[in-house]
Amino acid sequence: MSNAPAVTEGTALPAEPSAPRRFLRMLWADKFALAALLFLLLVVLMALLGPALLGDVAQKQNLRGRNAPPFEWARGWLWWMGADSLGRPLLARIIVAARNTVAIAAGAVLASALVGTTLGLVAGYASRRVGEAIMRLADVIMSFPSLLLAVIVLYVLGPSVTNVVLVLAITRIPVYLRTTRAEVLEIRERMFVSAARVMGASPRRIVLRHILPVVLPTLTTLATLDFAYVMLAESALSFLGIGIQPPDITWGLMIAQGKEHLTRAWWLSFWPGLAIILTTLSLNLLSNWMRIALDPTQRWRLEMRGRPDA
């Protein structure tokens, strides 16, 4: 884009809209991302309020009404997705399960991002030897079979939301570690880091004040994607029977339980599957949008679309 004009010397600085307004405008420009964000907000809302509002309904069994088919309006809106094999309304269960699903994914992503980024910063900026040692550690974690890890944690610590978070977090650490380290290795050679060194800035200051903020957008995008990945991983664990155990519920577990009835009552695993697809799809869409919105050289694509004259 070298033929796009730069700001010339002496001209007044262009007035820029405030950051929130600008992001709202860019969001408006990408309707997919907007829809994705709205859907994610809905999921978060479900996770926050669902158990309090519908916790009892979602647990109330009715063996006579098991596997009730969807779209039967007579039973009330909670039943329009049908009922599961214990006659519990699927819609209510999906709403209630949102909390564990989101909590596991968020917990795992936050924990792995925090640990991975910290280790990555150290590996990237510390001496070669420390860096190499950390990378070997990452290799070991990467090749440690996650299923074995899940079984170990499940066996030693027992199945619980926290422990599933632990398993998923450990397996995802290398992703952040490697990304951060690679970025740090590149950024530490940049001139503004040299400038900070010339001023006498300590390594700690350079890493936290100069390098971390530059890595952060990449990590945010990565974390968004990873959120989707972790949700899928959690459901796969549930499928194999080594994840969350009932009566705790997550969407993944609902699919796993419903698959036994797939030929006769497809809705049991269809709706939670759809919930996962929509959520991960939204996260993917949002992260694609973020990749553009956070990149000053790509941003015009969104800003242009939002204007009527384009």
Partner 1 sequence: MPDHLLEVRDLSVEFHTAGGVVKAVRGVSWHVDRGETLAILGESGSGKSVSTAAILDLIDMPPGRITSGEILFDGRDLLRLGAAARRDINGRRIAMIFQDPLSHLNPVYPVGWQIVETMTAHGLPGARARAEALRLVTRVGLPDPAGALRKYPHEFSGGQRQRLMIAMALAMKPDVLIADEPTTALDVTVQAEVLLLLKELQQETGMGVVIITHDLGVVAEIADRVVVMNAGEIVESGPAREVYHDPRHPYTRKLIGAAPGKGEMHPPLARAEPVLSVRNVRKAYGTFTALDGVSLDLMPGETLAVVGESGSGKSTLARVLLRLDEPDSGEALWKGRDLFRLSPAELFALRRDLQMVFQDPTQSLNPRMTVAQLISEAWAIHPRILPRDRWRARVAELLAQVGLRPEHANRYPHQFSGGQRQRIAIARALALEPELIICDEAVSALDVSVQAQVIDLLDRLRREMGIAFIFIAHDLPVVRDFADHVMVMQRGRVVEHGTVRQVFDSPREPYTRALLAAGLDPDPDVQAARRAALRTERRAAGA
Partner 2 sequence: MLTFIRKRSLASLVSLVGLVVLVFFLSRLTGDPTDLYLPLDATDEMRARFREIYGLDDPLLVQFGRYVGDLLRLDFGDSIRKARPAIEVVLEAFVWTLQLALVTMALVTVAAIVVGSLAAFRVGGFFDRVSGILSLVAASAPDFWIAIVAIVVFAVGLGWLPTSGTGTPWHWVLPIAVLFIRPFGLIVQVVRGSMISALSSPYVKTARAKGLRPRKIIFVHALRNAMLPVITVIGDQAASLLNGAVVIETIFGFPGVGKLMIDSILQRDFTVVLASIMVTALAIFLMNLLIDLAYATLDPRIRH
Partner 3 sequence: MLGRTMTWGALLLATSLTPAWAQDDTAVTIVLNEEVDVLEPCMATRSNIGRVILGNVNETLTELDVRGDGGLMPRLAESWEQREDGSWRFNLRQGVTFSDGTAFDAQDVKHSFDRVFDPTITCESARYFGGMTVTANVVDDHTIDFVVDPVQPILPLLLSLVTIVPAETPIEFVRDPVGTGPYAVTEWSPGQQIVLTRRDGYWGAAPAVTQATYVVRTDPAVRAAMVEAGEADIAPTISQDDATNPATDFPYLNSETVYLRLDASQAPVSDIRVRRAINMAIDREAFIGTLVPQDALLATAIYPPTTQGWNPDVPVPAYDPEGAKALLEEARADGVAVDTPITILARTANFPNVTEVMEAIQQMMQEAGFTVELQMVEVAEHEVYYSKPYPTDRGAYIIAAMHDNRMGDPSFSAYFKYHSEGRQSGISDPKADDLITRASAATGEERAQLWSELQAYVHDEVAADVLLFHMVGFARVAESIDWTPTIATNSQLQLSEIGFRN
List interacting residues with partner 2 (CB under 8 A). Answer: 1-2, 32, 132, 135-137, 139-140, 143-145, 147-148, 151-152, 155-156, 228, 232, 235-236, 239-240, 252, 255-256, 259, 262-263, 266, 269, 273, 276-277, 280-281, 283-285, 288, 291, 301, 305
Q: Which of partner 1, partner 3, partner 2, none binds 261 (CB below 5-8 Å, type-dependent)?
A: partner 3
Measured from the CB atom, is 154 or 193 closer to partner 3? 154
310 binds, options partner 2, partner 3, partner 1, none, Cβ within 5 to 8 A by partner type: partner 1
- Contacts (CB under 8 A) with partner 3, residues 82-141: 85-86
- Inter-residue contact 81 to 273 (CB < 8 Å): no
Helices then strands, each counted (H, E), the chain: 12, 0
Using CA atoms, how far apart are residues 184 and 212, in angstroms rounded to an integer?
8
CB of 200 to partner 2, least distance (A): 35
How far is the C-alpha of 93 from the C-alpha of 257, rounded, in Å?
13
Q: What are phi and psi of 83, to 5 degrees?
A: -125, 160
Q: 15: phi > 0 → left, psi -120 to 50 → alpha, else beta; which?
A: beta
Which of the residues 133 through 192 are near partner 3 (CB under 8 A)?
A: 151, 154-155, 158-159
Contact assessment for residue 161 and residue 103, using Cβ atoms and an 8 Å cutoff = yes
Judged by beta carbon distances under 5 to 8 A according to partner kind, the member of partner 3, partner 2, partner 1, none in contact with residue 309 is partner 1
Q: Which of 19, 64, 296, 307 binds partner 3 (CB under 8 A)?
A: 64
Q: Which residues bind partner 1 (CB under 8 A)?
A: 1-11, 13-14, 16, 190-192, 194-202, 205, 209-210, 213-214, 296, 299-301, 303-304, 307, 309-310
Q: How far is the CB of 208 from partner 1 (least distance, A)?
A: 12
66 is a site residue for partner 3 (CB under 8 A): yes
Q: Which is nearer to partner 2, 3 or 8 (CB)?
A: 3
4 binds partner 3 (CB under 8 A): no
Cα R_g (the chain), whole angstroms: 24
Task: Tell me how far apart the alpha carbons of residues 203 and 183 are, in angstroms, rounded to a whole number.
Answer: 16
Q: Residue 99 CB, nearest distance to partner 2 (Å)? A: 19
∠ CA 174-146-262 to the nearest 5 degrees?
A: 125
Hey, what are 290's tokens? Answer: 């973020």
Q: What is the C-alpha separation between 194 and 151, in angstroms, rounded?
A: 47
> DSSP E strands: which ranges in the chain?
none
Whether the Cβ atoms of residue 288 and residue 301 lie closer than 8 Å to each other: no
Does residue 265 interact with partner 3 by CB under 8 A?
yes
Nearer to partner 1, 79 or 125 (CB): 125
CB proximity list for 249: less than 8 A, separation 6 or greater: 58, 93, 96, 97, 100
**Length of the chain in terms of residues written:** 310
Task: Decide if residue 47 touches partner 3 (CB under 8 A).
Answer: no
Shortest Cβ 61–partner 3 spacing (Å) = 6
Residues that bind partner 3 (CB under 8 A): 59, 61, 63-64, 66, 85-86, 151, 154-155, 158-159, 241-242, 245-247, 257, 259-265
